[in-house]
Amino acid sequence: MQSQILHFPAKEAMIIGQQTGDRTISNRLADTADSLQGAAERSNALDSGHRACQGCGEALGARHAIDTALDTTDGELVVVNATGCLEVFSTPYPQSAWRTPWIHSLFGNAAAVASGVAQSFRIQGKENVRVIAQGGDGGTTDIGMGCLSGMFERNEDVLYICYNNEAYMNTGVQRSSQTPGAARTATTMPVGEHPGNRFGTGKSVPKIAMAHGIPYVATANIANPRDLEAKVRKAMSIRGARYIEVFVPCPLGWGTASCDTIKVARQALNCGLTPLYEAEYGEITAVNKIAPSETVGAYLKSQRRFAHVFKRGNEHQLEAIQAIADANIRAFDLVESK
Amino acid sequence: MLKQIDGSYAVGEAVALCRPQVVSCYPITPQTHIVESLGKLVKSGELADCSFMNMESEFGAMSACIGSSAAGSRTYTATSSQGMLFMSEAVYNASGMGLPIVMTVGNRAVGSPINIWNDHSDAMSVRDAGWIQLFVENNQQAIDVHIQAFRLAESLGLPVMVNMDGFILTHAYVRVDMPEQEQVDKFLPVFKPFQKLDPQSPITMGALVGPEAFTEVRMLAHSRMERALELIPAQAEEFANIFGRNAGGLVQKHYDDETGVEAETVLVTMGSVIGTAKEVITEMREMGESVNAVTLRTYRPFPAQALREAVIGAKRVVVLEKSFTPGMGGIVYQDVLAALNGTGIEVQSVIAGLGGRPVTRKSIRTLFAGCDERSNGHGFEVLDLDNTTMDRELAREASVLDRII
Amino acid sequence: MTAIEGQQLIPFATTLEPGTSRDNKTGSWRNLRPEYVQNLPPCNDSCPAGENIQAWLSHVQRGDFHGAWQEIVKNNPLPATMGRVCYHPCQSGCNRKMTDGSVQINATEKYIGDRALEQGWQFEPPEKPTGNRVLVIGGGPGGLSAAYHLRRAGHTVTIFEGMPALGGMLRYGIPSYRLPREILDAEIDRILAMGIEVRTNTRVHDIKQVMRSEGFHAVFTAVGNWLPNRVDVVSKAKTPVLDGIDVLRKVETGEDHGMKGSVVVWGGGNTAVDVARVALRVTGERPKLILRRDMEHMRAHPEEVQDALDEGVQFFNLHTIHEVRDGEVVLERMQADDRGRPFPTGRYVTVAAGSVVMALGQSAELGVMEKMGITQSGDWEVPVSPGMMTSVPGIFAGGDMVPSIRTVTAAIGHGKKAARNIDLWLNDQPVSERRERTIATFERMNTAYYPDVETNHRPKFEAGERIYDFREVKGGLTEQQAIQEAQRCMSCGNCMECDNCYGFCPDNAIIKLGAGEGFKIDYDYCKGCGICATECPLGALDMVMETI
C-alpha cells in the first residue's frame, strides 16, 4: 500500500499567531505543515490525470476527505463509490485515479455495498480496515436514500460522505432534491411563473441522518479545508454510521468560473446559506460561527444558474433566498455575538 | 443425517454447512423461511463467524452481498419474484464484477397481478444477467446443489443462483439426508477470492469501460460460463464421491434406454415438475410407450451439447415450462430449439403451472396425448387453460378494443 | 502489481489490465497557465529608505529579532531612531489598512532597534578596505547613512560636521521627547565603531580644496536645510520674533532660546508642531499655533498634530499673523476655497504673545555649491542625477538639500543610494537601472484568509503627565506585541508558503519543494483552472495565456 502514514493533530494544530489564522491550508508560522493537505507527504488518494472538469469542487473535496481518512487509518481504508461524476472521471478504463482499494457498484447502492464491505471485514476480524462510502447528492439523497437510511438505522460502521453540488451533474445538470430554490437546471429552466427550481422543495439529509440517531453527522465546505479535515478525523475516530455532507461547487453546473470554486463555496458559507455544524446521536454539538462578510446577493451573482434572479420582476426570489439564509442564521445562531 | 424437514429450513441448514460469512436478508414469500432459519442459526451460534444483515430492500440486500463478496467473504442471500426484479440492477452488477455470491431463488410468479405462487418468471427475468442458474427438482437436490453452488461460484468467480420452486419445494416437509459438516468441509475449501478489496494490495473495482473494451469484457464473462459447462459435471462427480449421492449436473436423463434405441418422445423440464411427470412417464413406459424425460439442472450456461447428447435419436422433444413471454411464448423452448437446431428433432412448446396452477398427472397425460397434433417449431400450447374464462374475457376485451381500432 | 515510473498500477477487477490516470496528461486541456511571480509589496515600495520591510517582518514573525535587525540594517543603520521619528509612509502603503488597519511597522522597527541596542549588536567592519577615501560633509541622517554604507563597502570615510555633535536634524531639529538622545548617540556610535573618522565643528568652505589637500576620491554632501525661511511681518514691538529651527537647536544645546510667555508659533509643518510642543515644555504656558490652512490641509503628520492638541496647544487654523505688537499678535482670519486654499478676509483678532516663532520652512546654505558652479545664486536646492551625483563628477549630494521629500527617512535613503553610486563611480561602473516591478496592490490580494485582529499600538503617557519634561512620550511594544504586529503582515506579493495553491489544486498539479523553496507547477496535469491564483492570499500567482 502506497499510502503514507502521517498523524496530524487535527484542529489542535498550534496556531502561533494571526498571520493567516487557520483559514489557509497551512499556517506558515508553524514549523511544519499543520494540515494534511499542506503536507508534502499527503497520499493524493485521487491521483493526477483524473478527468474532472477544470476547478472541480468534488474532486477536491474527495481528495481532502480520502487523504484524511487514509491518514487516520494508516492506509487501512476501502472506498465505495456511487455512480456519478466522481466515479466516471476517476476510473475510465484503463486509467484509475484511485490509490486506495475502491469499488463502484451502482448509482443508488453505495451505502448498502459499504455496509456489506464493513460486515465482511468485521467477520474476517479485520476491524482495522475502515470503510467510506461516497457519492454526489443525487446518488446519496435521492436514488440512494433507501440504502443510506438502512445503513444509518443499522448503525453500520461506515462513514458516508456526500459531495453536494446541488444537482445531477454527470447527466447534464438536472434537478436533485438538493437543488436550491430558483436555481436553473436542465429540468428547472428559468421560464414561466416560477423561474428555476421551485421554492419549498428539497430536504436536509444531515437532519434526516440526525433523526436516525447515528453517532456522528457533520456538514462541511470545501472552502474550509481545515474544518473538513477535522470532521473527517472526528468521524474516523468513531465507530458506527457517520455522515458528512461536503458542499462542493460545480463550475459547469452552476455557471461559475473554474477559478472561483473556492470563492463561491466561501460566499455560500459566509452568507449563511450553508451552515456548518456537527451532531452526535441526533443532537447538534457544534456550530461554526460565521462573520457574515458575504451577502446572499454576491453569492448568487457569481453563478449563472441564478442569473434570472436579478432580472426585474424576480426580486421576490432574491428575497426568498435571503430569507433562507436569515432563517439559518437564526436557527443555528451562526453569527458570533460580540 | 436423515431428517424430516421443511424445504426452506433444509436449504438454510445446508447453506449454514457451507460456512457463509455474510448473509444478507430481506423478506419475501416464499423464500423468507430460508433466511429466517439462517438468522436463527447465526443468533444461536450454530453458524459462527457469520454476519446476518437485515437489509432495507432486496436492492440493498444484493448490494450488501456485492460489498461483502468484494471484500472477500463468502456471501449468501435469497429472494423471489418482485424481490428479484427490485434487485435486478444489482444482480447484473454482481456478475459483472465476477463476485461469487450464491443466491437461492424461491421461484415465484411476477406481478401484476400480484401472485405469490410458483412459476419461473423471476428466474427468467434475469436469465441474461450473467449468473449461473441452477434448477433443482427436489429438496435433497436443493441441499446438495447449494453446497455445489458455493464451490462452483468460487472456483469460477461468478455468482450462482439456485432455483427451487416456491411452496412446492420451499414449503414441502419431506425427509432429506442432511450432509455432515466434515463432508461439506472436504468438498468446499475455504473461500480464496481471485481479487478483493484489500488495503495491502489495492484494486479498482467497477470501473467505467467504454466501447473500446466492453465487448471483450462480455466475452470474458461468456468464457467463464463456458468453463462452468466443464466444471459442473466434474464437481458433481466429486460431490457424488464424497456424499455418495448424485445431485445431477448439467442435464439429467431420467430413464435409461437401450443403447441406440432412443425414446420417441422426450419431455424436457426444469425444477420440481419432473416429480409428477415421472409418475406419468413411468406408467407410460410400463405400458410400452416410447417416452423419456430430461431435466435441465443447469439453465445458464445453457448446456446445449449435453442436451443434444441426452435426446439424440428421439423423434420429438416437448419442452414443458413454467415461464412465458407474452408475444412470443415459451422461453426455455427457445433455448432448446436453438440447441437442437439441425438435429432434425421436432421441438414442441408447452406452457403450464403459471402463477402456481398445479401441473397434475392429468395435465401431463394431456401433454403427451397432444403430441401428434401440435405444430412443429411454431406456437405453443397452454395446459389446463380455462377456455370459458378466456372466451368470456376475450370477447369483453374485443368489445372495447375493437371499437378503438 | 506492475509499476510505471515508480507508480504502482491499480488493477481493474475483473480481468482487465491495470493502469493509472497518470497516463492521462490533462495539461493539454489548459489555455491559461499559472505562473509564480514576486511582486513589490507596497510597504517596501513606499519606504524612502528602501527597507525590505516585508523581509524583516518575516523574521520577527518567527521571533528572530537578530535576523530582522540584520535585514533592516542592509538599508537603514538607525532602526531605533527611525522607529521613533519616521513618518512611516510604509504604513500608509500597507494593504492591511483596507481591512483591519495597517501593520504597525514603525513601532515594530523601534522594538527591533531598541533590542539591538540592548543586546549590543554591532555592525561587522568591512572585510577588505578598498583604499578609496570618501568625504561626507554633514553628519545628519543622510551623511550618517552614506558613511555607513560606504564603510560597509570598504571605503575609508571621514565625516565633517559643522556642529559639535553628529546627528543633524535628528539632534538639533527633533525634540528629545520624540527621540531620546541616548538612543541617537548609541546608534551613531555603532556606526562610528565600524571605523569612521569624524571631525566635528568643522565646516567646509571649498570642497575641491579639501579633496585635493586630504586626498578624497569622492564627496557626499548632505548639509541639510538650516536657513529659516522668513516672512516680513509688521513688527515695531519688543516681542521677540524667533526662528523655529534655531529655537529647536538652542533648546537642544542649552543656549538661550528666547521663548517666553505664551509662544505664538506660525506654520503648519512638523517643525511648527515640534516648536509648539517644545515651547509648552519650556515655558509651561499653552502655546498658540497659527496656520493659514484648515486642519485637513496641514502638512504636519496627523499623529503629531493630535499629540499637540492633546497636550493643549491652541490651534488657530485659517489665520495668519498680521502684526506683532507688544505682548500680543494681531491675526487675520482666512477663508478656504473648495480646494482648501486660504484667502484673506480682512477680519482680525488679537491674541496674547510672549514671543513669536516662525516655522515656515528652511532651505540649504548653498554657498559651497555655488562656488563649484553646481548651483546658481537664488537656487534653493541642489540638482542631482538619478545616482545622486551633482553636475561635478565625484561630488554627490542628498538629504534636505536635494529635490525630494524632506524627511529623515528620505535622507537615509539618499545616503544609501549615494553610497552605492559612489561605490559604482569609484569602480567605473555605470549607474544601475531601476528595475520596474509590479506592485502587490490590494486588488491582487485575497484577504478572506486574513481574519481581523486587534492592532498593537505604542503606549503613550497621558498628555497631562508628559508636558512637564522631555522624557519620551511614547513607549514601545512588548516582544509579544512586536511579534503579533509582524504576524499581521500579509506578505503581499510574495509567497509565504501557506500551501493554499498546493492544497486547493484539484489535480495535484502543484509540487511542494520544501520549506523556503516554494512550489512548482506540474504542467503535465495542470488544467489551468486558476483556483491557485484566485485563492493565493497574496497574489503570487498570475494566470497567463497559454501559447501554442
Q: Which residues 500-539 of chain C have a CB within 8 Å of chain A?
A: 500, 502-509, 512, 514, 522, 524-525, 527-531, 533-535, 537
pLDDT score of A4: 31
Whether residue B204 has pLDDT greater than 80:
yes
**A293-338 residue pLDDT tens:** 788 999 999 999 999 999 999 999 999 999 999 999 999 999 987 5
Residues in chain C within 8 Å Cβ distance of A299: none
Q: In the prediction, which pLDDT does B397 show?
A: 92
Judge whether A2 lies within some domain.
Answer: no
Q: Buried b vs exposed e over A120-141: b needs ≥16 C-beta within 10 Å?
A: bbbbbeeeebbbbbbbbbbbbb
Query: Rounded to the nearest 10 degrees, how much is the dihedral formed by the CA atoms of C113, C116, C122, C127?
Result: -70
Q: Is residue A9 part of a domain?
A: no
Confidence of residue A278 (pLDDT cuts 50, 70, 90): very high
Chain B contact for A297 (CB, 8 A cutoff): no
- The answer to whether the Cβ–Cβ distance between A105 and B56 falls below 8 Å is no
Are residues A77 and B185 in contact, defined by beta-carbon separation less than 8 angstroms?
no
Angle of CA points C290, C301, C147, to nearest 5°: 120
8 Å CB contact of C16 and B217: yes
Instruction: List chain A residues with CB under 8 Å of C499.
Output: 24-26, 33, 35, 37-38
Lowest mean pLDDT among A209-218, B10-19, B366-375: B366-375
Q: Mind listing the pLDDT tens digit of every residue in chain C (548 residues)?
A: 344 444 444 445 444 456 889 999 999 999 999 999 999 999 999 999 999 999 999 999 889 999 999 999 999 999 999 999 999 999 999 999 999 999 999 999 999 999 999 999 999 888 889 999 999 999 999 999 999 999 999 999 999 999 999 999 999 999 999 999 999 999 999 999 999 999 999 999 999 999 999 999 999 999 999 888 888 877 778 888 999 999 999 999 999 999 999 999 999 999 999 999 999 999 999 999 999 998 888 889 999 999 999 999 999 999 999 999 999 999 999 998 888 889 999 999 999 999 999 999 888 888 889 988 898 888 888 999 999 999 999 999 999 999 998 899 999 999 999 999 999 999 998 887 777 899 999 999 999 998 888 899 999 989 888 888 899 999 999 999 999 999 999 999 999 889 999 999 999 999 999 888 999 999 999 999 999 999 999 999 999 999 86
Does B213 contact C11 at a Cβ distance shorter than 8 Å? no
The stretch A85-91 carries a mean pLDDT of: 96
How close C55 gets to chain A, by Cα (Å)? 14
CA B329 to chain centre: 19
pLDDT exceeds 50 at position A10 = no
Q: In chain C, which among 293-352 make CB contacts under 8 A with chain A? A: none
CA distances from B336 to A63, A172, B341, B370 (A): 53, 45, 8, 19
Q: Tell me which chains share at least 3 CB pairs under 8 Å with chain B.
A: A, C
pLDDT-derived band of residue B259, with 50, 70 and 90 as boundaries? low
Higher per-residue pLDDT: B259 or B227: B227
3 state DSSP class of C45: helix
Q: What is the pLDDT of residue A21?
A: 56
pLDDT of residue C208: 93
pLDDT tops 90 at residue A23: no
Beta bridge partners of C474: C460
Name chain C contacts of B157, Cβ cutoff 8 Å: 14
Q: Give the domain range for residue B310.
A: 254-388
- Asked if residue A6 belongs to a domain, the reply is no
> CATH number of the domain that A307 lies in?
3.40.50.970
Q: Given A19, A46, A57, which is nearest C61 (Cβ)?
A: A19
Residue B153 lies in a domain: yes
- Are B195 and C10 inside 8 Å of each other by CB? no
B19 and B90 belong to one structural domain: yes
Contact call for residues B227 and B251 (beta carbons, < 8 A): no
Does residue B286 share a domain with residue B216?
no
Closest alpha carbon within chain B to C12: B204
Give the list of residues 6+ apart from residue C527 with CB closer than 8 angstroms, or none: A54, A55, A258, C26, C27, C29, C30, C506, C507, C509
Confidence of residue A22 (pLDDT cuts 50, 70, 90): low
Number of domains in chain B: 2
| CATH number of B313's domain | 3.40.50.920
Average pLDDT for B22-35? 97
Q: Which of C396, C394, C435 is nearest to C415 (CA)?
A: C396
Backbone angles phi, psi at C393, to 5 degrees: -55, 135
Contact between chains at C533 and A19 (C-beta distance less than 8 A) = no
- A171: containing domain: 36-331
**Residues from chain C contacting residue B96 (CB–CB below 8 Å):** 14
B207 with B284, same domain: the answer is: no
Count up the domains in chain A and report the number. 1
Whether B274 and B130 share a structural domain: no
Q: Does C496 touch chain A (CB under 8 A)?
A: yes
Return the pLDDT at B374.
Answer: 81
Residues B151 and B226 both lie in one domain: yes
At C61, the amino acid letter reads Q
Q: Which residues of B touch C16 (CB under 8 A)?
A: 207, 209, 213, 217
C-alpha span between C35 and A35 (Å, rounded)? 24
Q: For residue A78, is it within any domain?
A: yes
Minimal C-alpha gap between B288 and chain C (Å): 54
The answer on B110 and B138 residing in a single domain is: yes
Interface residues of chain C, partner chain B, Cβ below 8 Å: 1, 10-16
- Would you place residue B145 in the very low, low, confident or very high pLDDT band (cuts 50, 70, 90)? very high
What CATH number does the domain containing B125 carry?
3.40.50.970
pLDDT at A13 over 60: no
With a cut of 70, say whether residue B378 has pLDDT above it: no
Give bridge partners of residue A102 from the DSSP assignment. Answer: A79, B204
Instruction: Clarify whether residues B47 and B81 are in a common domain.
Output: yes
Average pLDDT, chain A: 91
Place of cell 538619478: C386
Instruction: Assess whether B236 and B272 both reside in one domain.
Output: no
Q: Best residue in C14, C17, C21, C22 to probe B by mutation, most B CBs within 10 Å?
A: C14
Instruction: Report if residue B402 sits inside a domain.
Output: no
**Are B128 and B99 in the same domain?**
yes
Residue of chain A nearest C538, judged by CA positions: A20
Chains that touch A (3 or more CB pairs under 8 A): B, C
**Mean pLDDT of all residues in chain C?**
91
ipTM topping 0.90: yes
The verdict on B324 and B301 lying in the same domain is yes
In a domain, B393, yes or no: no
Q: What is the mean pLDDT of residues B263-287?
A: 96
Q: Mutating which of A46, A50, A113, A153 best tests the B interface, going by the most B Cβ atoms within 10 A?
A: A113
Lowest mean pLDDT among A121-130, B250-259, B277-286: B250-259
| CA distance, residue C53 to nearest chain B CA (Å) | 50
> How far is it, in rounded angstroms, from Cα A7 to Cα B173?
60
Q: Which of A28, A33, A95 sits opposite C20 (nearest CB)?
A: A95
Question: Does C13 contact B195 at a Cβ distance shorter than 8 Å?
Answer: yes
Nearest-CA distance C22 → chain B (Å): 15
Distance from CA of A114 to the nearest CA of C (A): 17
C-alpha cell at B232: 459442473
Residue B403 pLDDT class (50, 70, 90 cuts): confident
Residue A44 near chain B (CB below 8 Å): no
pTM of the model: 0.91
- CA A137, distance to chain mean position in Å, is 9
Give me the residues of A, 91-110, that contact B with CB < 8 A: 91-94, 96, 98-106, 108-109
Q: Please give the DSSP secondary-structure letter assigned to residue C398.
A: -
Which chain C positions have a beta carbon within 8 Å of B98's beta carbon? 13-15
